[in-house]
Structure 1
Amino acid sequence: MIILRRGDKLPSVAAVQYFLNLYGNQQLVIDGDLVRMTSEALREFQRANDLIVSGRVRNATWQKLNQRNRQIIDSVDATDDEITDYLDFQRYNGEPIINYGMSLGVRNVINQIKSNAQSGKVVLLRFHGHGSPGHMIVSSGFDEDAGSSFDLDYAGNFWSLFGALRNIFLPFGSIEFHGCNVAMGVRGERFLRKVANTLNVPATAGVRSQYGGGRDSLRFEGRTRTFCPNGILLKDWATQVMSSSYI
């Protein structure tokens, strides 16, 4: 599921705004910013559908908005004993892709995602594990092995391999990295920009440490940074992709 609350500024907010306009008879400006008007629209939608009225997005509200079953895919690095996010996902978000330490882990992770994804149906892809600025570990715990993590500076066939995920996304899909400090500094910015341009969807990560646990495993802790394809702003991306109808 997606967990959102007032003040969140994310591509997934734009998807929720789109669904509110489509299924809730709203006329929201789609800009990815969950401010007062979007919160009020959520409350109205929740009242109309006999949901808990909170102005936030949690599982019941997301399920009601997601009437065409767009996919959310979570990939969790469970190598380190401290990582228990997969238990939270099984409770709140069905069955995540669970990864353990392996050689050629990146290739395996990408192939698993492609196998689980319906082409053109993924609204959100999230990676969970350890991170550092411009670096996300996907299948090796703390071990920053080149075959088991994503990194700004990787060369060879890494980015073409990563780009194979491009076709899984909806036009208003996005990708998130929930490792610690992935978005921090120049390296974080360059990494997210490269991901966004490679996959043609916005890329988001947290600046500070991400501790996870419970519902925190499904949302960012602290400030985030989002970069959209071709360097456009989030609000401009949202307006651009939502200008056509995606049913």
Structure 2
Amino acid sequence: MRRKWELFLASSRMGFKNVLADKILIAGSFLIYAMIVILYGGLIKLIPDADLAVYGFSHAQMIWYIGTTEFILFTSSSWSFKEVQGDFTSGEAHLRILRPASYAFVRFSFWSGESLARVVILFPLYFILIGWFSGEFVLSWIGFLGLLLSMPLAALMMNCGAYIIGASCLWFVQSEPAAWIWQKSIFLLGAMLWPLVFYPVWAQNIVWMLPFHGILAHGGNWALDLPMQTYVFGFINQIIWAVLSLWGLRRFDRLVLRRVQSGET
């Protein structure tokens, strides 16, 4: 256990430094993020107050919601799966898998460090941008703390998903179709643009049974004034799916090892 922890820290540090070394990419990411938020935020400001008041939301809260869900997405690279796919396609991953250290664990740890670096760099900018554009800071200290606690769990699920999707090329030749389904599921079932209360009841019930709520919606909900039970159930949902994601990653890593050892790749 101690060796795994040391490996996690070492790989995470490498990922953290990797992000810090590419300042142009970080600057570009924030500019894209700002453009998306301003675009969607501008559309939200066109919605009549009465239409949002039906759900008990203000324009500022909706802008903070979208800004937060988008920020969570930007903390984890949407294209990390391509790194894994490239390693398997080139055969480099085959050598790494046969080493004592799990290739999946090293990748997960490396991406965790990258996610942490993006949060450290972009979080103050996100906070200032959304506060300026919305005209107010709607996050209470409880909401601020809840967001900080929920983001690592969201990143954990996205990083586990990225590895599984990337390694799926061992069965499906290319990972892009699976990545497309995953990303669109996060977009729709993760309630990226609109809080879950805007969805039909049957759709809300489906979303609550899937991991996508914990990836995006739960983080965005901290900007809204919702019943406390929503946040409690949201955390329970996140924790359950985070544990299942780690378990699934470990099981899938074993399948990958068997696939490589069988010579069917």
Shorter-chain TM range is: under 0.3
Give TM-score scaled by structure 2 length: 0.25
TM-score, normalised relative to structure 1: 0.26
Identify, as 1 or 2, the structure richer in strand: 1
Q: Name whichever structure is richer in helix by fraction.
A: 2
**Pair member with larger Rg:** 2
